Structure 1
Amino acid sequence: MASTDEQFAQAANHWDLETLYTDLASVKGKRLTPVEKLHLRGLLCGYSPAEIAERLGKNTKGVETDLCATIYKYVKSLVDKCNEKIENWRNIAEWLDDAGYKAQIRSSANKFPFVNCLPENSVVNITNITCENNQITIDACLKITVPLPSELSIEKLDIQDNNNN
């Protein structure tokens, strides 16, 4: 079985876990336990408490109870929502996203190595990134400008105007 650090590790691709762990530890008054970190990563990966329990081979009610007594309480305090009721486990990720804990793409060239292979003056605009059910979707607008070789001219391309036929 994978260690607790390896389980739900994909959360680190989308969330600033170290800052989040540190901030939640300050709310708690001591470091998060490995189990608390594990459950938090499961939520941030989009798994419900029941799915987390199933993946970890645990009792669903036990995971739900643990979350209510720990992570939910810490997050509510961290994001100043102590008086709000958690309507759904998804509230946790939404609140943390709103509070700025989602990892920012620092440099598209570093995160997307294909950018370095594009011709000069090419532009890649990442318009949206979503992560849902263990799938990441990246919407991008790609503009590639390629100069014509100097010996090639428009007249030599033999492009016919279909409107004149």
Structure 2
Amino acid sequence: MKQTEQLFVQAKNDWDLEKLYTDLASTKGKNLTPIEKLHLRGLLCGYSPADIAEKRKKSARGVEVDLCKTLYQYVKTLVDRDNEKVENWRNICQWLEDAGYKTQPAATQSQLSNPIPVEAKVHISNINIENQSIELQIGILLQLPIPLPSNSSNKKPAQ
């Protein structure tokens, strides 16, 4: 896998990328380039154009110009906002979310009907400060009670 393909892969967890790539390709008239896909994933992960440029070791202005000439135009057409100005890169994410491309996030513990109590303990065992760097040794203990299924096999046999 190329280094650029490894950037912003977390977007696939929250967005229907395949449908989005297909729909944007239809709008564009041909498939998105690997760089267009990379920039789109970066935006969907919450990175600004400047952040994307920094991660790619490219010019921030160059990435911004590229986005304005390509992805922003495709997205505006796709979500029927051709006459609107992209005031901020976050508009793109919001418009795509409003259009249904964002997948539903997994249920969080607070959304579960029977939340599992979790106990966590953190222990810092060593702190070493040398040459403007800090080295920490941290131990983490998580305790997750897991209920056993209740069934008749747990009962003592009758005597």
Query: Which amino acid in the other structure matches residue 47 of structure 2?
Result: Y
Aligned to 1:142: 113
- Structure 2 counterpart of 1:23: 23
3-state DSSP of counterpart to 2:113? strand
In the other structure, the counterpart of 1:48 is 48
Q: Distance in 2 between matches of 1:14 and 1:39?
A: 16
Following TM superposition, by how much is the alpha carbon of 1:18 offset from its aligned partner in structure 2, in angstroms?
Answer: 0.3
Separation of aligned partners in 1, 2:17 and 2:5 = 12
Structure 2 letter corresponding to 1:55: K
Equivalent position of 1:11 in the other structure: 11
2:31 partner SS: coil
How far apart are the structure 2 equivalents of 1:141 and 1:23?
A: 34
Counterpart in the other structure of 2:139: none
- Residue correspondence of structure 1 range 1-165 to structure 2 within 5 A: 2-104=2-104, 126=107, 139-143=110-114
**For 1:6 and 1:81, how far apart are their aligned partners in 2?**
31
* Superposition CA RMSD, Å: 2.6
In structure 1, distance between residues paired with 2:4 and 2:78: 24
Calculate the TM-score normalised by the size of structure 2.
0.68
Which residues of structure 2 form unaligned runs of 5+?
116-146
1:59 shift after superposition: 0.3
Q: Supply the distance in 1 between the matched residues of 2:91 and 2:110 (Cα, whole angstroms).
A: 25
Give the letter aligned to residue 12 of structure 2: A
The unaligned stretches of length 5 or more in structure 1 are 106-110, 112-125, 130-137, 152-165
Measure how far apart 1:51 and its partner are.
0.4
**Count of matched residue positions in the alignment of Structure 1 and Structure 2:** 122
